[in-house]
Amino acid sequence: MSIVTDAAAARPAAEVKVPGLGLFAGGLTALLVVLVGAPLLMIVLMSLRTGFPGEGGPLTLANFAAVYSNPGTYKVLANTLLFASGTVLVTLVFAVPLVWLLMRTDLPFKGTIYVLMTVGILIPVFLRTIAWILLLSPRIGLVNQWARQLFGLEQPLLSLYNIPGMAFIQGVSFVPSAFFMLAAAYRTMDPALEEAAYTSGVSKLQTFLRINVPITLPAIAGVMVYLFMTAIAVFEVPAIIGFPARILVLSALIFTSTNPPTGLPNYGLAGAYGAVMLAAGLILAYFYVRLVQHGKKYTVITGRGYRPREIALGRWKWPGLAFALLYLSMEVFIPFLVLVWVSLLPHLQLPTAEAFAQVSLDNYAHIFDHVGALPFINTAILMFAVPTATMVLSVLISWVVVRTNLSFRGSLDTLAFLPHAIPGILLAVGLAYLGLAYRTYFPVYGTIAIIAIAHTITWIAYGTRTTNGVMIQVHRELEEAGKVSGASTATVLGRIVLPLIAAGIFNSWIWISMLSYREVTMALALGTRKNLVISTVVWQFWGNGWVPQVAALGVILVLFALLVVGGLKLGFGRLGEWQH
Amino acid sequence: MIKISGLKKWFDTPRGRVEALRGIDLEIAEKEFCVLLGPSGCGKTTTLRCVAGLERPDAGELEIAGQIVNSPARRVYVPTEKRDIGMVFQSYAIWPHMNVFQNVAFPLVRGRKRFGRELVAEKVRRALHLVQLDGLEDRPATDLSGGQQQRVAMARAMVTEPKILLMDEPLSNLDARLREQMRVELRKITRAVGVTTLYVTHDQAEALSLGDRVCVMHGGEILQIAPPDEVYARPANLFVAEFVGEMNFIKGKLAAGCIECALGALRLPVPVPATAGAVTLAIRPEHVKVDSLDGSSNSLVGTIASKNYLGDAALLEVEVNGVTLLAKLPGDTDIAVGQKAFVTLPPERWRVFAE
């Protein structure tokens, strides 16, 4: 998730003195400046140039003029804002009650619901979107087909092809992230703050309104800003639902400018659109950081960690459970069941006796012929290279930030957090431009390496947040006790520090590996025929209208993710627990 | 004022039932300051939270000012917000989004009894004066020191002039010097207001100096309820003796008319447990007399094994007949390590406990 830690501020008096430290840390900072700065510079550069990447020519404002004199642009901006606001609304409507139900009440099956929320993150957004289209598309959607047969309706019963439909799917997909961010805020809230109100003679409702809500308000506002910032940049839902419905948002415009279905790519226009998105992203990120810091003032160190009394739901238990199930159905069960059903049939049809007679595993049997070996190999490369590179960089950065007293360690921490504010689609387009315009210096365009680089830059923000946290937990005195015992620096690192941080780092490694596995936006924007990965193959199949194959590959994609995470949870569950 | 009878509470865990309270009986008179003392997990906080209504007991009855506020058998439960109480929490629980005035005024503005603006301002002013925070009304809660937060919490708990004040380890988050200051002040304030107080602590010095009565708890039960001097002088059993203050313990055996132990057969003018067999003898270090010169006929000869100089006092370890006794002497004693000395143990100072 996205918790900003002021790791640099937490340990002002660090005293690691290693010869050449300054040089090493300087080199690390320079590397990070290049990794994060170069794609951003490219966005600015391409917005100021016309023609193909690498053609040079004078800098011009022609792209901006072209974009912002076009009334269509303002329609797109309005769509983007509507879509983003709607998304935030949908997410909060589900996430806030869920947090309250799971963190403060005696709702049954809390543990299971918690696990299923995590599972939801592993179902890629584009697969969930596709599954919902298969249900609610006005023409082919199963629900609408069924409604036509049953009631003889002329018009579709429900359609997703509009901004509320897009916001609904995107909002449902954001709920787990919002839930985990808000749950953290609830956990750090001292239950005595509520109890002090009760003992003051204040009713439960008044306590909720005057104490709980104002105290968690900074956290809710932080989540809203974070979601809004992410929603203006997402690409999967706007592409899958928006394109066919002719509802364009900024991210879709940026993508089509660089990957047009016909004609030549226009990086200049993409840059001009991207500049707005980048500016909005950075401003929102600034507010987000401010809100998170403001919220921290409200966290109180509790005395004894008394287990807060759970609110007894009584007869409201079942409606509460129904609400959680309704959400989980929309997020996990329904999309997955639709994909499974469709993957077993030669073509999309309602579950009738006739359809059941045609059920077979044919689509699975032939999937390898359609896909080939390359996407699997490429995906495997991503799943190992990206988390490894990210975690190595994160450990080094966190070590400098947490364990040294170099003057620029704070800036290094901010720099590592910056990719969080850069929309993935912009990062990818910037890198693509870099690879095309300067291919002699940066010969990676069209290879799997450029996707790996894009992923690594993006997840350094997440990686360093975890490694900062892990390193702060390892108290300096544990290291010093090792040195006092006569162990060398290398022995202390290998025998004391590494075993202590290993579990935390391993968990992040797995998580980043899974994020890289399901990522599609950057892989598409940087994609050519040579660097296909499984997620982009599903996307292509969908573009070709191979619905059963999409479903079969989607089911395989989800099952593999469940297998990996479930297996590791069983095998390494204790390793992770021990960390906390 | 508060009457607790047969209070029981248990938690069902996967490893079976855990009994947090095994039947607590306690009556607290009006204006009394009663301290619940015990190690962590003894049930003292659970008892307090039951009185507050923040925890619901599984059996027993709770009465506040003659009104039953909780009785599972009679299906009576008065919720926390309807009970006439004030409470100070260990973490102070100062609401971070309000300033000092808003924190203290909250019970008057949103609580059981509501008051007009001017009366609220007057009551808040008086409460803040009581805790010596005059003039800090507009300070944001997040800009207060630990000691100031503690005082705001006190003012907020007392501002409604409740019949009962509940305090849950209120001084444990303060540093040592401030804690002693606040201890004295707390006693003055509660005396001045004359509120019935139930106070939870694990610190025996706090319990002895604050309480009109101290109630020592262990394993969900009350072991002794008595005024502080009695708890110290006559611990009801071995656990209380071990928990409150320092004591020397020696194993012994009840014999006809005397007790046999490593120090010889002792005839003691103190109560002895009725059960025959093994007993434990106990005596406080300040009652062990050590002298280098004149020993009486009752003295034993010992060797000084160690000396721990504390300034106002010195703690000596004396070996007598293979038993190590701790003795507390004035700090300026010239008895040195290694020397022989006469040890006198006044028979009336011994306490005898069943095993």
- What is the band of B128 on the pLDDT scale with cuts at 50, 70, 90? very high
DSSP, res A310? P
Q: Which chain B residues are closer than 8 Å to A195 by Cβ?
A: 52, 54, 80, 87, 89, 93
**Tokens at residue A442, please?**
């940066």
- What is the band of B291 on the pLDDT scale with cuts at 50, 70, 90? confident
Q: Which of B86, B89, B107 sits opposite A195 (nearest CB)?
A: B89
Nearest-angstrom CA–CA distance, A501 and A468: 11
Nearest-angstrom CA–CA distance, B223 and B239: 8
| Residue A511: burial class (beta carbons within 10 Å; 0-12, 13-18, 19+) | middle
**DSSP states of B129-164 as a string?**
HHTT-TT-TTSBGGG--HHHHHHHHHHHHHTT--SE
Q: Is the confidence at residue A45, as pLDDT, over 70? A: yes
Write the pLDDT tens digit of every residue in B71-92. Answer: 999 999 988 888 999 999 888 8
pLDDT for res A577: 37
- Helices (H), ranges, A123-162: 125-136, 142-151
pLDDT for res A297: 63
Q: Which chain B residues are closer than 8 Å to A217 by Cβ?
A: 97
Buried b / exposed e across A331-364, counting CB within 10 Å, b at 16+? bbeebbebbbbbbbbeebeeeeeebeeeeeeebb
End-to-end alpha carbon distance in chain B: 37
Mean pLDDT of B115-120: 92
Scanning every residue of chain B, which has its alpha carbon at the shortest distance from the alpha carbon of A201?
Answer: B81
Write the pLDDT tens digit of every residue in B323-341. Answer: 999 999 998 888 889 988 9
| Residue A85: burial class (beta carbons within 10 Å; 0-12, 13-18, 19+) | middle
* Helix (H/G/I), strand (E/B), else coil: B62: strand
Scanning every residue of chain B, which has its alpha carbon at the shortest distance from the alpha carbon of A209?
Answer: B110
Q: How far is CA A425 from CA A236, A270, A329, A512, in A?
A: 10, 10, 29, 18
How many interchain CB pairs under 8 A, A with B? 98
* Helix (H/G/I), strand (E/B), else coil: A159: coil
Bridge-based pairing state of the strands B196-201 and B33-37: parallel
Asked if residue B220 lies in contact with residue B20, where contact means CB atoms within 8 angstroms, the answer is yes
The C-alpha torsion from A434 through A435 and A438 to A444, rounded to 10°, is 140
pLDDT for res B304: 93
Write the pLDDT tens digit of every residue in A325-335. Answer: 999 999 999 99
The C-alpha torsion from A287 through A291 and A292 to A296, rounded to 10°, is 150
Q: Which chain A residues are closer than 8 Å to B166 by Cβ?
A: 199
- Give which of A116, A118, A120, A127 is closest to A557, Cα–Cα: A127
Nearest-angstrom CA–CA distance, A382 and B223: 66
Nearest-angstrom CA–CA distance, B119 and B117: 6
Q: Is the confidence at residue A19, as pLDDT, over 80? A: no
pLDDT for res A13: 41
Q: Which amino acid is at A436?
A: L
Nearest-angstrom CA–CA distance, A32 and B92: 44
Q: Which chain B residues are closer than 8 Å to A309 by Cβ?
A: 54-55
Scanning every residue of chain A, which has its alpha carbon at the shortest distance from the alpha carbon of B170?
Answer: A303
Asked if residue A62 lies in contact with residue A50, where contact means CB atoms within 8 angstroms, the answer is yes
Q: Is the confidence at residue A576, as pLDDT, over 80? A: no
Write the pLDDT tens digit of every residue in A336-381. Answer: 999 999 999 888 888 888 888 888 888 888 888 888 889 999 999 9
The overall average pLDDT reported for chain A is 83
- Give which of A89, A90, A75 is closest to A242, Cα–Cα: A75
Write the pLDDT tens digit of every residue in A70-101. Answer: 888 899 999 999 999 999 999 999 998 898 88
pLDDT for res A449: 93
Query: Look-up: residue for tokens 């007399």?
Result: B289
DSSP, res A311? B
pLDDT for res A410: 84
| Residue A455: burial class (beta carbons within 10 Å; 0-12, 13-18, 19+) | buried
Across the interface, whether the CB atoms of A192 and B89 are under 8 A apart is answered yes
Q: Which of B55, B86, B92 sits opposite A199 (nearest CB)?
A: B86
Chain A contacts to B (CB-CB under 8 A): 190, 192-193, 195-204, 206, 210-211, 214-215, 217, 297-298, 300-304, 306, 309
Scanning every residue of chain B, which has its alpha carbon at the shortest distance from the alpha carbon of A303?
Answer: B91
Nearest-angstrom CA–CA distance, B153 and B145: 12
- Secondary structure E strands in A395-490: none
Q: Hey, which of A79-88, A128-137, A282-291 has the most confident mean pLDDT?
A: A79-88
Nearest-angstrom CA–CA distance, B208 and A162: 73
Scanning every residue of chain B, which has its alpha carbon at the shortest distance from the alpha carbon of A307?
Answer: B55
pLDDT for res B41: 86
Q: Sign of dihedral through CA atoms B300, B301, B306, B309?
A: positive
- What is the band of A305 on the pLDDT scale with cuts at 50, 70, 90? very low
The answer to whether residue B111 neighbours chain A at the CB level (below 8 Å) is yes
Write the pLDDT tens digit of every residue in A408-444. Answer: 888 888 889 888 888 889 999 999 989 888 888 888 8
More confident call, B38 vs B267 = B38
pLDDT for res A571: 57
- Weakest-pLDDT range from A271-275, A365-369, B200-204: A365-369
- What is the band of A9 on the pLDDT scale with cuts at 50, 70, 90? very low
Mean pLDDT of A274-295: 83
Nearest-angstrom CA–CA distance, B248 and B261: 13
Q: How far is CA A579 from CA A182, A462, A500, A507, in A?
A: 21, 18, 8, 10
Sheet architecture: strand order including B221-226: B85-88, B164-168, B196-201, B33-37, B213-218, B221-226
Nearest-angstrom CA–CA distance, A447 and A411: 32
Q: Which chain A residues are closer than 8 Å to B54 by Cβ?
A: 195, 198-199, 309
Nearest-angstrom CA–CA distance, B51 and B58: 13
| pTM for the full predicted model | 0.74
Asked if residue A336 lies in contact with residue A558, where contact means CB atoms within 8 angstroms, the answer is yes
Nearest-angstrom CA–CA distance, A108 and A232: 36
More confident call, B48 vs A491 = B48
Report the share of chain B in percent with pLDDT over 90. 55
Sheet architecture: strand order including B289-291: B289-291, B340-344, B300-309, B313-320, B323-330
pLDDT for res B21: 93
* Helix (H/G/I), strand (E/B), else coil: B217: strand
Asked if residue B49 lies in contact with residue B63, where contact means CB atoms within 8 angstroms, the answer is no
pLDDT for res A298: 61
More confident call, A439 vs B27 = B27
The overall average pLDDT reported for chain B is 90
Q: Does domain A6-300+347-577 have CATH number 1.10.420.10?
A: no
Across the interface, whether the CB atoms of A201 and B90 are under 8 A apart is answered no
Across the interface, whether the CB atoms of A198 and B89 are under 8 A apart is answered no
In chain A, what are the domain boundaries?
6-300+347-577
pLDDT for res A575: 39
pLDDT for res A153: 73
Chain B: give the shortest CA distance to residue A304, in Å.
8
**DSSP states of B282-346 as a string?**
EE-GGG-EEESS---TT-EEEEEEEEEE-SSEEEEEEEETTEEEEEEEETT----TT-EEEEE--
Mean pLDDT of B6-21: 88
pLDDT for res B199: 96
DSSP, res A19? T
State phi, psi for B200 to the nearest 5 degrees: -110, 135
pLDDT for res A308: 57
pLDDT for res B221: 94
**DSSP states of A222-283 as a string?**
HHHHHHHHHHTT--HHIIIIIHHHT---HHHHHHHHHS-SSS---HHHHHHHHHHHHHHHHH
Residue A56 Ramachandran class (φ > 0 left, ψ -120 to 50 alpha, else beta): left
**Tokens at residue A231, please?**
């929603």
More confident call, B68 vs B98 = B68
Element (H, E) at A503: helix A498-518
Q: Which of A193, A200, A297 sits opposite B107 (nearest CB)?
A: A200
End-to-end alpha carbon distance in chain A: 17
Write the pLDDT tens digit of every residue in A199-242. Answer: 888 887 788 788 877 888 888 888 898 899 889 989 999 999 99
Residue A543 contacts by C-beta under 8 Å, 6 or more apart in sequence? Answer: none
pLDDT for res A93: 92
- Asked casually if ipTM beats, i.e. exceeds, 0.95, the reply is no
